[in-house]
Chain A
């Protein structure tokens, strides 16, 4: 039993970590009423940033430059959406497109069009003494690269921050009633900009995780829709940090099950597993699975600047 469950659990966590990172950032953005479709671009930029940063400089610098790269994409989103008031969906789509083009072009320009096989330092697993020895779940949960533990800490921290701090309350107020928040003296544009930048940093970290803790290299388009999946996870997690972790685990489990089925040579339509989380997300959005409540102003055009 253990030898089936343990690798499955480990694969679930591995897939879930970058998704959770990206989704936790997107969660804050959506709680301010915005939808950042450019998240996919931030992840991709983070992945290339990680490769460039880690080549010759080590894992830590890789993660740092991944964050910076993600924040650059996020800053563009701030400029176009918060400052210029361009349509957020269109700007986000364009930024994802821009990142796909720019990372592909830069990668080929820096490393040659063949994309020479690169070996960069990767983030090794750091077993937590005691916990890692737990039966079944020990290695899967507690013998992971440090970035995984960051997710464990970040989700409850964000949950507390949103629920219990003045700043968290202000952020939630913006998502529900931006005009009222503005009238109450909250600097709506500034909070939104900071939330987007924060999500860019986390999106970049998600991309960095793919490169530094998983693949060990960069491939064009390696974000493979994770930014969009993260948006789904936020909805599936009903716009709460702990819900987001649950959603990320569900998507992770679906992908782990798919690989398990393929590895065991079962002739089952594994695509069903891959499609189920999306179907559940649609059901959650429609209110069939629990009570999903989106921030009231989510996705609406921004109020004119005053």
Chain B
């Protein structure tokens, strides 16, 4: 982290540095994709062209495909980023997203009749509370019994999936009891679309807002300082900083869960308009890649979520138009994460060979 640089030139230099890094990442993605396409015997040019067309090739593709997918990735990405920064290995964003989606659907369907705006606000608040509540189970187990959150959040992801499966066949099932899904939420309670931008809804503002605020909190506030200190060296934070690490990490866990839950609520009110089992194509897991590529910085998450949203949108087009398996994009995402952690680990080793390092300084 090269910060503390407030002069104009150094700020301009750091912006240039960020852009250069983004350029390298983009080049790496294009290069890896081309390599994989060639290795698989697919036409490289038409594959790449389809990837572009499906993600950025038109205003419609950019807004209705890329940005719509970027919204849940941004919210869950920020969720993962702040948790990891605090040393909380929350890989339960998927379960927290599902809990949030279920809470939002339940509230939106049961409050039908109140003024639309208030229903939307309540439903989104419920989704954040649902996600935070789901995360609080793992947070409690960690704080009280020292249970590794890596394992407990995986368990909670499965339990959330089974719980949603139960809800959409039980209490929340649509009235005809035919389909395993909830009723459709009334038009008035849908998140408003952004004019002239296809299916893009105002959840984008929430997601960008979350990224901006979280980044600001980490950079500029005492709470952010405590969070980072607790993550980088819990013992030093306690002894030298007088920080209550348990309270800091537990609160971070709540906020992380709330953001992932909000992603679920935004998805229900803005995209799916109903609750069903496969509401998330693994956003909570992709979020880990999004956060890591952003080197756990919420501001950069806005950019990496956009990138991954574009990749996922383009994958479909690649399959449709060029016959390339859409799963190729998953390979690229995984390769990106591995490259990022490997570079981080190697750099750490060469610069500070014996220093005790934070849990994940990616």
Contact = CB atoms under 8 A, between A and B. Distances in A.
Interface of A: 35, 37, 80, 84-87, 89-91, 93-95, 97-98, 100-105, 108-109, 113, 220, 225, 228-229, 231-232, 235, 269, 271-272, 274-275, 278-279, 281-282, 285-287, 294, 298-299, 301, 304-305
Contact of A282 (B141, B150, B288, B354): B141
A232 B154 contact: yes
A104 B327 contact: yes
B362 A87 contact: yes
Interface in B154-172: 154-159, 162-163, 165-166, 169-170
A275 B334 contact: no
Contact of B152 (A84, A104, A272, A285): A285
B162 A275 contact: yes
- The secondary structure that dominates the A interface is helix
5 contacts: A86-B342, A101-B327, A271-B163, A271-B165, A286-B141
Nearest to B346: A84
Interface of B: 36, 40-41, 89, 91, 137, 141, 144-145, 147-148, 150-152, 154-159, 162-163, 165-166, 169-170, 285, 288-289, 292, 319, 323, 325, 327-335, 337-338, 341-342, 344-346, 349, 353-355, 357, 359-360, 362
B330 A101 contact: yes
Contact of B289 (A97, A232, A274, A305): A97
Contact of B338 (A98, A102, A232, A274): A98
A94 B289 contact: yes
> Which residue, of A271, A272, A279, has the highest number of chain B Cβ atoms within 10 A?
A271
Given A89-B89, A232-B151, A80 B323 contact: no
B334 to A, nearest CB: 3
A98 B334 contact: yes
B158 A225 contact: yes
Given A101-B327, A271-B165, A304-B353, A231 B154 contact: yes
A98 B166 CA distance: 31
B170 to A, nearest CB: 6
Closest 10 CB pairs of A and B: A101-B330, A104-B327, A98-B334, A101-B331, A94-B337, A271-B166, A86-B341, A108-B325, A97-B334, A271-B162
Given A84-B342, A269-B170, A272-B166, A89 B330 contact: no
A95 B334 CA distance: 7
A305 B349 contact: yes
Contacts of A304: 349, 353-355
Contact of B335 (A37, A87, A98, A279): A98
B345 A84 contact: yes
B325 A105 contact: yes
Contact of B327 (A80, A108, A299, A301): A108
A90 B340 CA distance: 10
B155 to A, nearest CB: 4
B252 to A, nearest CB: 17
Given A102-B331, A109-B325, A90 B346 contact: no
B332 to A, nearest CB: 8
Given A35-B151, A275-B159, A304-B353, A105 B328 contact: yes
Nearest to A225: B158
A109 B331 contact: no
Contacts of B169: 269, 271
Given A35-B148, A278-B158, 15 more contacts: A37-B150, A87-B341, A91-B341, A97-B285, A97-B330, A98-B331, A102-B331, A104-B325, A231-B154, A232-B154, A271-B163, A282-B141, A282-B147, A282-B152, A285-B148
A286 B325 contact: no
Contacts of B162: 271-272, 274-275, 278
Contacts of B144: 286
Contacts of A287: 145
A94 B334 contact: yes
B337 A286 contact: no
A90 B40 contact: no
A232 B292 CA distance: 25
Contacts of B357: 301
Contacts of B151: 35, 231-232, 235, 281, 285
Nearest to B164: A271
A101 B354 CA distance: 36
A228 B337 contact: no
A269 B151 CA distance: 25
Contacts of A103: 327
A104 B41 CA distance: 16
B349 A80 contact: no
A100 B330 CA distance: 7
> Which residue, of A98, A272, A305, has the highest number of chain B Cβ atoms within 10 A?
A98
Nearest to B336: A94
A102 B333 CA distance: 11
Contact of A80 (B137, B156, B329, B342): B342
Contacts of B353: 304
A271 B158 CA distance: 11
Contacts of A35: 148, 150-151
B163 A275 contact: yes
A184 B259 CA distance: 46
A95 B338 CA distance: 8
Contacts of B141: 282, 285-286
Given A104-B327, A285-B141, A304-B353, A298 B148 contact: yes
A228 B162 CA distance: 15
Contacts of A98: 330-331, 334-335, 338
B41 to A, nearest CB: 7
